[in-house]
């Protein structure tokens, strides 16, 4: 029985709505947690860190969708969302991310792939991944922002709910979106040199917004994150 290939394009009317919901969810949660009176025995503190980590990852995933033109068919609007979510994700710059990400798609698991490391070793690979994507400009902007924000919010809250989640989300993105799918390189023996998480939509969403379905993403980069599960 023939199956119909699912095709989504940037004209999907929900793209902008999903992006705005992601940004507002991150901002609302952050503002609440930054004003919350810390109690290290309260479960909400640790859940708050996990929630903010997941929402930080969502900011990057939204920027990533913009890189593939799936947020909006209007290029200016699409790229504006990409710039906003990139900057909110620890002052990353959209134009720089855009170039590197498309290099990754063109040269998966090769020496021209900026996301790949031939060692296959988790910590070495993660170190090199962070080194390639972190700039002095970002660190300066984060430091200045922290000093300004501490005039309004408690430093401890800023460290726990803004700084720490932004760091943890880089590992979440790296581990589930880069390391696991590509650690075996060409041994995947498929045209995208990519592995894929076994079908489990709940796990796939909470680990990395369905990007554990990584072969599927490389095979259909025009599919936004919130539709990606349907390609599995």
Comparing 4-8, 31-35, 46-50, 167-171, which segment has the lowest mean pLDDT? 4-8
Question: Rounded to an integer, what distance in angstroms lies between the CA atom of residue 176 and that of residue 195?
Answer: 11
Average pLDDT over residues 92-106: 94
Distance in angstroms between the alpha carbons of the first and the last residue of the chain: 17
DSSP-assigned letter for residue 176? I
Question: Rounded to an integer, what distance in angstroms lies between the CA atom of residue 188 and that of residue 26?
Answer: 36
pTM: 0.90
Quick one: what percent of the chain has pLDDT higher than 70?
A: 94
Q: Which of 194, 190, 232, 193 is nearest to 210 (CA)?
A: 232
Q: Which residues contact 118 (CB under 8 A, 6 or more apart)?
A: 111, 185
Question: Rounded to an integer, what distance in angstroms lies between the CA atom of residue 138 and that of residue 156?
Answer: 21
Residue 111: pLDDT band with limits 50, 70, 90: confident
Domain ranges of the chain: 15-231
pLDDT of residue 10: 41
pLDDT of residue 109: 86
């Amino acid at each position: 029985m023939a199956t119909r290939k699912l095709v989504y394009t940037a004209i999907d009317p929900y793209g902008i709505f999903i992006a705005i919901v992601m940004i507002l969810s991150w901002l609302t949660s952050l503002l609440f947690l930054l004003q919350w009176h810390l109690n290290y025995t309260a479960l909400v503190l640790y859940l708050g860190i996990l929630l903010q980590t997941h929402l930080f990852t969502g900011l990057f995933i939204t920027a990533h969708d913009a890189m593939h033109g799936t947020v909006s068919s209007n290029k200016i609007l699409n790229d504006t969302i990409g710039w906003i979510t990139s900057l909110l994700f620890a002052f990353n710059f959209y134009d720089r991310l855009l170039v590197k990400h498309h290099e990754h798609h063109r040269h998966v698991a090769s020496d021209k792939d900026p996301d790949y490391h031939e060692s296959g070793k988790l910590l070495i690979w993660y170190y090199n991944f962070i080194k390639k994507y972190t700039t002095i400009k970002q660190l300066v902007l984060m430091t200045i922002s922290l000093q300004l924000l501490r005039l309004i919010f408690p430093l401890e809250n800023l460290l726990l709910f803004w700084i720490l989640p932004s760091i943890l989300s880089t590992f979440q993105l790296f581990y589930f979106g880069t390391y696991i799918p590509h650690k075996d390189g060409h041994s995947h023996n498929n045209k995208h040199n990519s592995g894929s998480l076994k079908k489990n939509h709940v796990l796939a969403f909470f680990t990395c917004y369905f990007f554990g379905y990584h072969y599927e993403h490389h095979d259909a980069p025009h599919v936004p994150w919130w539709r990606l599960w349907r390609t599995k």
